[in-house]
Structure 1
Amino acid sequence: MDILLTTYPRHKSKNVGDSLITDSAIKLVRYRVPSYDPDIYFREDSLEGIDKEEVRTILIPGFSVNNDTYPSLFKMYSDITDISNKIYVTGCSFQNLVANVDTYKNYEYNKETKEILQLLANSSGTIPCRDQLIHEMLIRNNIRASYIGDLALYDDEKITEKFVPPESVKSVAFTIQHNTKFLSQSKKLLSLIKREFSDSDLYVVHHSKPNKIPKLIADYAVSLGFIEKDISGDSEHLKFYEDIDLHIGYRLHGHIHFLRNRKPSFLMAEDCRSFGISKTGLLKTGIFEAMENDGISVRDVAPYELMKSVRSNIKSQYHDYNKLFSYIDEVYYECVRPFFDQFCIKIGWKISFWEKLGLYFRGFGENISYFKNNR
């Protein structure tokens, strides 16, 4: 049997971004092995009742490399040493509310977590990371790592597709932040969006089940003329964005979903998840830091900087985004495709000798990010 551990909290916040990560990973596998049908468990579920001998693979997209990730965040089995060669972590993430480079540079692993990460890296060859800062943090801690990116960026059917910028912005979706401290900042950004796109259809969008603070933001947006939309839950709900021309907001996977589908997006980086991606090569395009350099204080100027960039990009027909999409394509071929090709070979994908030889020499793109992301 094949197992996939998901970060999607169906019974809690219903964060649609986590659902997108899971479904993106499955689609990347099924593009090669259409019969792939894993048993899906939430990351906090114990696998103790499942015979290890019956398990062929355990795929974990979005695995966290924070301290105590196992067994606190990902329970799996009480002992994974004898099954580590069947565990494939990828698109690995790091969570911290203090969004600056020092957070990564000064992060210290406890002995238990470091041993688990080294075990997983040694079993699969490397730990593929969501962003370059995570990659470098693991390398500094003597843990073999590579860059692969957020899996939601990649769709085999979209890779190399030509970017066609919208002729005009007839609709804009604003995604609501996680953190309460950005309340005033997000209200300012909403006001600027309304001023800039007064004749467009404007939406304020929930990516998680709405609670008190998001409702405050949504109510303010509605008072400006925005339409409220809740797309929390399954990734199918993201189809709402198909008819939206532009994304502006705080939700990383709102931003990524637009990029995945070759559409322009502008993101306010509110925590390390977005911040790390903003420091990864050309993925910095369209991302603005919501906090000052201390990673704590709110940047009042950020909404104005973002909207200035929006106007500039509209004028240039989103010139910078052509380079961004080419970058995503390059990373796919150098890093993503090799990983999923290798994984699919493990579950029975048949390829020719020459294709296997190409995979051997191509590897997992372990060092690709260093020259790509710093060019």
Structure 2
Amino acid sequence: MADIMNPVTPDNSDSFDLLLTTFPKNGTRNVGDHLITESALKLVRHRVPNYRPVIVFREEPLEQFDKSSVRTILAPGFTVSDETYPNKFKLYENLEGVLEKIFPVGCSFQHWIPSYKTYEEYCYSNETLSLLKSLSKNDGAIPCRDELIVKMLDNWGISSSYIGDLALYDPDVIGKKFTRSKKIESVAFSIQHKPKFFKQSMSILSLTKKAFPDAQLYVVHHSTPSKNSIEVAEYAKSIGYIEKDLSGEIEKLDFYDDVDLHVGYRLHGHISFLRRRKPSVLIVEDARSFGISKTGPLSLGAFSAVDDDGTTWSRAVARQVFDFLRSQSYDGFKDYRDVFKYIDDCYWDLVRPYFDRFSAKLGWSQSRLGLVKEKFFRRVFL
């Protein structure tokens, strides 16, 4: 496991690799960003065990690294929002001679309003359009984490493809059978970003407790606790929840290994459970979650936090979540089998080929025997 807190530095070899992380060591310390980075590392190391890139936070300029010595720059979770360069990702002041070495993957799009209109009316500057079109040539298309991003980029003439959020894919879990939950004994509730959803959170917390009266209940921070999240946690604790701070180090997410169900607003709380072959309910409060909730079977268990205007918080969603949980728990959450099959299929058809191609740039080549074994595994077991 890479140490993002204390990344490696280049050795004296002729070339080295960079990985641009979206995880801030200070400030929010959003563990979801840490999960994206670690997922990308694991997907490469599944093929190239000695892959040890220099890990750099996206806001740090890269002038300290000699362009001619850089072999690849992997950018998991790269944002395709306007002015991504240099406002979100500093990169180099001059991209000449290095642009073709940058590989964005699982690309995201940030906007606070969760609606189709957000994607349909979004505008790009000529500078960002030029950058994204150039980056798309490095692998033939920009791999994005939801289908709405793909459609938006295609409308702007930018070659793109769906690959999904990289955190969905754990090579050690892909292909494993989903075991239906006979009884939910523990539930984790992840706290929202926006304070305006406080009353809505109170309702969802209360109805989740009503749905699972005998379960151990947790209220979870995914970022450094703030005034808003502390207020939510205090209410949750007053009705019987236990508070957990999972911000920062990726190892903290191991807590979810022993929790049966997630309900909440944090996208990577939701994805952390799907990654583990566990059911989850996502309350959609922004475009990041909205895009994934409109992507194939990933729509299951996703509910809008806002009304049709895209801004007013929904008074109906708490009851919608409660009804969904009651019906799904009755059948052992069996409908999630389609979600996990979808994740497996995307891994085999999209993720695996992408990281095979990227790993080839690191000098890796898959053995014929290994290819035969993987094809056999998929034919017999999937």
Distance 1:13 1:313 in 2: 34
Which residue number corresponds to residue 226 of structure 1? Answer: 241
Q: Indicate whether 1:55 and 2:70 are aligned.
A: yes
Distance 1:201 1:44 in 2: 40
Judge conservation of contact 2:183–2:332 (CA < 8 Å) in 1: no
Distance 1:353 1:319 in 2: 37
Would the alpha carbon gap of residues 196 and 61 (structure 1) be closer, same or farther in structure 2, given more than 3 Å must change? same
2:268 maps to which of 242, 250, 253: 253
Q: Secondary structure at the match of 1:124?
A: coil
Matches within 5 A, 1:84-123: 84-123=99-138
Distance 1:322 1:264 in 2: 10
Which residue number corresponds to residue 212 of structure 1? Answer: 227
Would the alpha carbon gap of residues 353 and 227 (structure 1) be closer, same or farther in structure 2, given more than 3 Å must change? closer
The one-letter amino acid paired with 1:251 is R
- 1:235 CA displacement: 1.2
- 1:104 CA displacement: 0.1
Which residue number corresponds to residue 342 of structure 2? Answer: 327
Judge conservation of contact 1:248–1:265 (CA < 8 Å) in 2: yes
Q: Secondary structure at the match of 1:40?
A: strand
- 1:353 CA displacement: 7.4
2:168 maps to which of 130, 150, 153: 153
Q: Indicate whether 1:8 and 2:28 are aligned.
A: no
The one-letter amino acid paired with 2:218 is Y
Q: Indicate whether 1:290 and 2:305 are aligned.
A: yes
Q: Indicate whether 1:189 and 2:200 are aligned.
A: no
Distance 2:325 2:120 in 1: 32
The one-letter amino acid paired with 2:181 is P
Which residue number corresponds to residue 74 of structure 1? Answer: 89
TM-score, scaled relative to structure 2: 0.91
2:216 maps to which of 198, 201, 223: 201
- 1:100 CA displacement: 0.2
TM-score, scaled relative to structure 1: 0.93
Which residue number corresponds to residue 367 of structure 1? Answer: none
The one-letter amino acid paired with 1:242 is D
Which residue number corresponds to residue 154 of structure 2? Answer: 139
Q: Deviations over 1:210-258 (max 9, x none)?
A: 0101000000000001000101001110001111011101110000010
Distance 1:111 1:124 in 2: 22
Q: Deviations over 1:96-137 (max 9, x none)?
A: 011100100010101111111011012331100010000000
Judge conservation of contact 1:175–1:249 (CA < 8 Å) in 2: yes
Q: Secondary structure at the match of 2:184?
A: coil
Distance 2:249 2:183 in 1: 30
The one-letter amino acid paired with 1:248 is V
Q: Indicate whether 1:130 and 2:145 are aligned.
A: yes
Which residue number corresponds to residue 7 of structure 2? Answer: none
- 1:200 CA displacement: 1.1
Judge conservation of contact 2:77–2:106 (CA < 8 Å) in 1: yes
**Equivalent residues, number:** 356
- 1:82 CA displacement: 1.8
- 1:12 CA displacement: 1.2
Distance 1:75 1:196 in 2: 47
Judge conservation of contact 1:85–1:124 (CA < 8 Å) in 2: no
Judge conservation of contact 1:81–1:119 (CA < 8 Å) in 2: no
1:180 maps to which of 184, 195, 200: 195
Q: Secondary structure at the match of 1:32?
A: coil
The one-letter amino acid paired with 1:13 is T
Judge conservation of contact 2:211–2:325 (CA < 8 Å) in 1: no
Which residue number corresponds to residue 317 of structure 1? Answer: 332
Q: Secondary structure at the match of 1:56?
A: strand
Unaligned runs of 5+ in 2: 1-15, 372-382
Unaligned runs of 5+ in 1: 357-375
Q: Deviations over 1:251-304 (max 9, x none)?
A: 100000100010011110110010000000000011111111221111110111
Distance 2:235 2:101 in 1: 49
Distance 1:237 1:84 in 2: 35
- 1:320 CA displacement: 1.2
Q: Secondary structure at the match of 1:173?
A: strand
Matches within 5 A, 1:4-43: 4-43=19-58
Q: Deviations over 1:157-176 (max 9, x none)?
A: 11111001222111110000
Q: Secondary structure at the match of 2:335?
A: helix
Which residue number corresponds to residue 236 of structure 1? Answer: 251
Q: Deviations over 1:317-362 (max 9, x none)?
A: 2121011110111111111111100000100112257999xxxxxx
Poorly superposed stretches of 4+, deviation over 6 Å:
353-356
Would the alpha carbon gap of residues 253 and 62 (structure 1) be closer, same or farther in structure 2, given more than 3 Å must change? same
